[in-house]
Chain A
Amino acid sequence: MQLFLQQFPIVVRSLNAGFVQTLKLFFVTLIGAMPLGLVISFGSMSRFKPLSVFTRVIVWIVRGSPLMIQLLIIFYFPGMVLGNPIWGGKEAGRFAAASVAFIINYACYFSEIYRGGIQSVPVGQDEAGMVLGMTKAQIFFRVKLLQVVKRIMPPMSNEIITLVKDTSLARIISLQEIIWAGQAFMKSSQGISGAIWPLFFTGVYYLAASGLLTLLFGWIERKLNFFRV
């Protein structure tokens, strides 16, 4: 017990540092993937056939293969095949590579959710906007967007909570996120060795994060309850 009390502050400091990295990856992914997903969804809905086919193939490949492999390819491919290790060997480079992989992966998932949401808005909404002389952009932003947001809230919440946990995959390219930090104590780190509880303890962080997100999404969904679609 005494040993645990000695270890606890050291472990928590280390896990906190890892969790900061986890959160950074989480937010960077969201900020990049949410708008990129919209661009991809427009690509996949394009009436210009080559573009929509191309986009859908990309989305299929990204959604159909493990994120872990995508991480490895994006991190190692430039160095191995192009002979140009663009990411460098430092933590910042690994973070950049992880961000790129996560943003592309999640943008593809988001794009499918957006597409479903956009296509589920009745065509009558477009037509009502058109006969009232609105432009395409006005119809999208002023008429359809909020209806789409309301419709996609449940699947988006799921996906975003999954993202919190998926960030742990980045340790495959040695990004020093929270699992990586916890695992270090199994071998030896800062005078603590052979301790497995720090790894278990990371679960508390994930639970806290997904709990907060669940509350946040519940609040947003209630905020959107003022109308029905």
Chain B
Amino acid sequence: MTLPDDFSFSQTSLSDYADCPRRFELKYLLEQRYPAPIVAEQLELEHRIEQGARFHHLIHQHQIGIPPDLLTRHLDDDELLAWFALYLRSGLDDLPQVRYPEIALTVPLGDHALTAKFDLIAVDLGERAVIVDWKTGGRVPRADALAGRMQTVVYRYVLAKGGAHLNGGAPIPPERIEMRYWYAQGGESIRLPYSAAEYARDEAELRRLAAEIAARADFPLTEETRRCAFCIYRALCDRGDRAGSLAEWDGEGESDDLSGFTLDIEQIAEIAF
């Protein structure tokens, strides 16, 4: 199946493509829902995802001005409380004052678009901009590994390309952009500066990738079969009948849902009253 005109790439879809073209096709082109578990320990994964989502939500609430004591009053999860306390102590260190939490930016990419949904962009007008991504998983990768991640590539590029309106109308030069991963479990912060050379390199690579995907007539299955243990489509692809174990999974369990609507009563007007 070919890419629809109105397709928008995201860091997740590009990562999926890099992992396995067939997964990209099934998930984004055929929109095939396939409700098999990603890992065997579903309950634990669900707990992690929910904790991560609640943490992100708390920070969002804090960033839009709700006092911390009002936010923590109803928290019954000690780990979450500890993360939030650590965030209040060091998560915002050295961040510019103008904050855009939970913001999505879309830029053109070849004949299509590229969307990034940021946890936080902090801007010092005309001076610098910092992208922050909150991580609740335990593992803290090395900086060079993080720098090569699709998320880093996409986020820095999208802000440089499409962030002018956050900077008084002037594009933010790549040298003034920093991507920061902040780890809630230990408070570590990994900072990745950006440069014009990296911007040019990322742009070329992203365009190449988008053009390659757009030109594809078929989407082969990955040859790295170990990836299939952590892929919901493994039964569809005849690639195994057991989900892998959570301990061996290198995903993050954060949702990347860019869809706009939730199902509410107004959408189910067709039911009989």
A and B are partners in one complex rather than unrelated chains:
no
Residues of B at the A interface (CB closer than 8 Å) are none
Residues of A at the B interface (CB closer than 8 Å) are none
